[in-house]
Structure 1
């Protein structure tokens, strides 16, 4: 098969937007409310259940100049001593990253 054919390239163009639709900030918020709220303040209204954990709030993370969706995705795919070893699906990582980035104040 010649992968440069117009048909193959057309299929790639159709498949690319479909993959991007798996990002759902609302699903990311639900995931944060079920997993992350134990240690993190997940928004301005929802405190961490364990404030003594001293984990950064997601709003503070979103406001950091270095925070991008890609940076959060890389972080969530890496293990960290201070965090439980959560195994998230790629869709969950995408949605949680989109949720956190969306907490940054609009410019």
Structure 2
């Protein structure tokens, strides 16, 4: 690049590179936004289910402690079972799924 010369443009001109977009690019962006919206809805539902699973596990801890304090074996067993179900559900709900990939 010499003095007084303009820089060379190499490669192909990307749409949007110099501040303009075509209508085809706008349609692609809208389509991606709609698809991402669907992914967000499903992942938000899984996050809510995982939060419910955490509170289920906490309730299981309370029930298990109640069974221990008052020497009720069946209550203790149900409390432990509730803890296991809550923790397992939490782990499964937050595991990345193949449909979460962009």
TM-score (norm 1): 0.31
TM-score (norm 2): 0.32
- More helix by percentage: 2
Q: Tell me which structure has the larger Cα radius of gyration.
A: 2
